[in-house]
Structure 1
Amino acid sequence: MNIFKQLIKSLYSPKDIALFRFQGIGKTILYIFFLTLIAIIPNVSYFSSAIINGIEATQNTINEGIPEFEISNGELTSDQAEPITMEQDNFTIIFDSTGDITLDELEVSNGLALLKNDFVLVAGGNIDTYSYSLFTDMILTKKDISSLVKSMESLLPIILPILVLTIYIFTAGIKFLEVTILALFGLVLKNIMNLKLQYRHMWRMAAYSVTLPTIFFTIMAALQTPVPNGFLINWFVSTIILYLALKEIPKPKTN
């Protein structure tokens, strides 16, 4: 059975998941990498789009919409008396040297903010914050930032693949850890159910048991729809599927 059929079968058939325990470990590892690749598509898409649109919007906004400013001693200073908010191509740029806007008050899906003490990048609702205190030995001006943004734009063909690869490797590591923990819990279940299985069998079955929640959360990410208690739902569904797969395994005959 090819990897695509395995993906479909793993969405609804605990019986097939139980049969997958006999396949080679290499194919199971390949399946986890394949599942990881599917899982990161929405986040990578939004992240890449946000970076590309953000750099272009930032370049235009810095040159035309933001006053002269300076970042020194961990603070942003300018002559602007109130915050500035600009929208361009579904990308929001906020400039606030007054300190009126805090991190908790940012409500944007994609954008960046130059706040009093922090630089904030928002991609697909995920917020990354960088304190200006990292540049205590430097003085940055509007001209410096504009030059930096222009340099980043020219490096995008190099930066984006590296970022995507980093996200993929990190996510794959998390997925392997998830499968390993689920397989350990599966050992407890198989002992309770009196099944003669080894850890290698449990690990293979666990790899396919995470398929349904992974695809579900991938779809939710593509729709940009948050799922309350997603962590608990993920583990609950994976465990139930693994349990149903274990029930499909015949118990050893007793004399």
Structure 2
Amino acid sequence: MQLWKSLYSPKDIARFRFQKIGKAIGYVFLLAFLSSLPLSYYMSVNLVDGIRYMKTLLENEIPSFNIENGKLASSATQPITINEHGLTIVFDSTGKVTTEEMERATNAIGLLKHEAVIVTNGQTQTYDYAMFSNMTLTDADVRSFLGTVQSLLPVFIPLLFVFIYVFISASKFVGVSVLAFIGLILRSTLDKNISYRHTWVMSAYAITLSTVFFAVMETVQAAVPYAPFVHWFVSITVLFLAIKEIPSPTLKE
């Protein structure tokens, strides 16, 4: 009921200020749980699909290889490039593809002659094979590793959810605390007689609309431009309207 009323009623949010702080803390944990669900789901699906896709590539698209003495070696005489789902995968044991060429892609994974290259949203990370000069890595080792990771997914995915939930919970509590301080400024502007405890409880409910909105957008995989600005604007506006609903103190003669 409180979740529903917090979506549209600043007057009810103003009434919630008399609740015990423990109830508001529990409510913030509930909002963090709702925020965690779509993000955890899509990260888990992408992880499962990514591992399955990499295993298929190693079995059908990429020839047998080994990395030894800081170099990638295989029977391929030409670079192999695969473009799928907005991701570019390059396998090149010939040395023809350079790191600079890989950097031109937005999202890419490259196994090059002397290094592995990962490009994520235009940001490049390189890993020199010389770091593993004392060991030999083969495609069979990679397939074995992927198989091990795949078998551990029933354990890893719940741990991933817990990590996301803890991280989002912490960010929610920090956000509510900052919003509560902003509420003290609004209190002075609107001449309302409330304490920080009141503004904190109200802030916990004032973020409901923004939290639910972004949870829905995450569920349908829709990008929201200037998301942090939208979140803070909506939350501050709702808190302002809620504080405005509080009766002002009357002056006694």
Shift of 1:96: 3.5
Letter of the 1:52 counterpart: V
Counterpart AA for 1:94: I
Report how far residue 25 of structure 1 moved.
1.2
Alignment partner for residue 202 of structure 1, among 199, 202, 207? 199
Question: What is the match of residue 51 of structure 1?
Answer: 47
- Aligned counterpart, 1:213: 210
Equivalents in 1 of 2:202, 2:34: separation in Å?
A: 19
SS of 2:7's equivalent? helix
TM-score by length of 2: 0.84
| Greater Cα offset, 48-57 or 11-20 | 48-57
Q: Please list the CA deviations of residues 184-223 of structure 1 after superposition, one character each: whole Å capped at 9, or x if unmatched.
A: 1111110111111111111010011111111111111112
Q: Secondary structure at the match of 2:193?
A: coil
1:162, 1:19 → 2: CA distance? 38
> In 1, distance between residues paired with 2:242 and 2:194?
13
Alpha carbons 1:74, 1:131 under 8 Å: kept: no
Q: In structure 2, what is the Cα distance between the partners aligned to 1:242 and 1:134?
A: 54
Amino acid at match of 1:212: L
Q: Max radius of gyration: which structure?
A: 2
Is the Cα contact below 8 Å between 2:176 and 2:203 reproduced in 1?
yes
Asked if residue 105 in structure 1 is aligned to residue 105 in structure 2, the reply is: yes
- Note the C-alpha offset of 1:55: 1.4
Alignment partners' CA distance in 2, 1:28 and 1:161: 26
Consecutive unaligned residues of structure 2, counting only runs of 5 or more, are none
CA RMSD of aligned residues (A): 2.8
Of 157, 161, 167, which aligns to 1:160?
Answer: 157
Match of 1:173 in 2: 170
| Alignment-derived partner of residue 15 in structure 1 | 11
Distance change (3 Å), C-alpha of 1:226 and 1:28: same
* Shift in Å, 1:83: 3.8
Of 231-240 and 74-83, the range deviating more from structure 2: 74-83
Secondary structure class of the residue paired with 1:149: helix
Residues 1:143 and 1:182: Cα distance change in structure 2 (over 3 Å): same
| Residue 2 (structure 2) pairs with residue 6 (structure 1) | yes
Contact kept, 8 Å, 2:67 with 2:129, in 1: the verdict is: no
For 1:214 and 1:135, how far apart are their aligned partners in 2? 46
CA offset at residue 69 of structure 1? Answer: 3.3
What is the CA–CA distance in structure 2 between the aligned matches of 1:38 and 1:134, rounded to whole Å? 42
Alpha-carbon distance between aligned partners in 1 of 2:123 and 2:154, rounded to the nearest angstrom: 22
Normalised by the length of structure 1, the TM-score is: 0.83
Give distance in 1, aligned partners of 2:71 and 2:177.
45
**Structure 1 residues 68 and 205, CA gap change in structure 2 (3 angstroms):** same
Q: Deviations over 1:104-132 (max 9, x none)?
A: 5235xxxx73454446497xxx8997642
Q: Is the 8 A contact 1:73 1:133 kept in 2?
A: no
Is this contact kept in 2: 1:96–1:114, CA < 8 A? Answer: yes
User: What does residue 27 of structure 2 align with?
Assistant: 31
Q: Does 1:253 align with 2:250?
A: yes
- Quote the Cα distance in structure 1 between the aligned partners of 2:155 and 2:36: 19
Are the equivalent residues in 2 in contact too, given 1:75–1:132 (CA < 8 A)?
no
Q: How has the CA–CA distance of structure 1 residues 134 and 200 changed in structure 2, closer, same or farther, with 3 Å as cutoff? A: farther
